[in-house]
């Protein structure tokens, strides 16, 4: 994972410093420096109308795998409750199985809720709303040109 550091080109103030995440944030990438109010493009944010939404966000298979993984964690935690020699002090023999089973249960719940969110169509509706908001912003020519001036690739249809 690479470290991203962004400083203001005008005043040199450190604006962002973060580990590059594997997920996208959606919204306007145009932000302002809090010191000199110069605009910059925040690389964490993406315009849905330009880049689209990754198909993996709507993949039920990946969440089924997540539920199975959670089930294995839950099973392992429950299995360890019967063990009395798990290389931990006697007072904490119950702690590790409880943590493992608890994490497994949370992973299962998260996966099930995400599957329900996809199947019910609420997730698709959320990204359609984000797409409409992005289209509305991009149809403003000054916004599109500002994005382009800040180094963001904007298709010709918005310019």
Higher pLDDT, 115 or 19: 115
Higher pLDDT, 16 or 1: 16
Q: How far apart are CA 38 and CA 31, in angstroms?
A: 8
Q: List b or e across 121-157, with b for residues whose CB sees 16 or more CB atoms inside 10 angstroms.
A: eebeeeeeebbebbeebbeeeebbebbeeeebebeee
pTM over 0.95: no
Q: Look at residue 103 and tell me whether its pLDDT is greater than 80.
A: yes
Q: What percent of the chain has pLDDT over 90?
A: 48
pLDDT at 89: 74
User: In this predicted model, what pLDDT tens digit does every residue of 72-93 receive, in sequence order?
Assistant: 999 999 988 777 666 777 777 7
Task: Please check whether residue 24 is in contact with residue 54, taking contact to mean a CB–CB distance below 8 angstroms.
Answer: yes
């Amino acid at each position: 994972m690479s470290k991203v550091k962004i400083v203001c080109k005008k005043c040199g103030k450190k604006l962002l410093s973060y580990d590059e995440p594997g997920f996208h944030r959606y919204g306007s990438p145009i932000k302002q420096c809090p010191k000199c109010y110069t605009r910059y493009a925040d690389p964490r944010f993406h315009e849905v109308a330009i880049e689209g939404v990754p198909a993996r966000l709507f993949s039920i298979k990946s969440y089924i795998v997540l539920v199975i993984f959670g089930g294995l964690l839950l099973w392992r935690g429950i299995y360890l409750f019967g063990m009395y020699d798990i290389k931990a002090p006697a007072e904490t023999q119950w702690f590790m199985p409880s943590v493992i089973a608890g994490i497994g249960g949370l992973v299962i719940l998260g996966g099930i809720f995400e599957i329900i969110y996809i199947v019910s169509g609420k997730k698709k509706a959320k990204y359609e709303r984000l797409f409409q908001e992005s289209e509305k912003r991009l149809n403003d020519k000054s916004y599109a040109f500002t994005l382009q001036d800040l180094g963001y690739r904007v298709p010709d249809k918005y310019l």
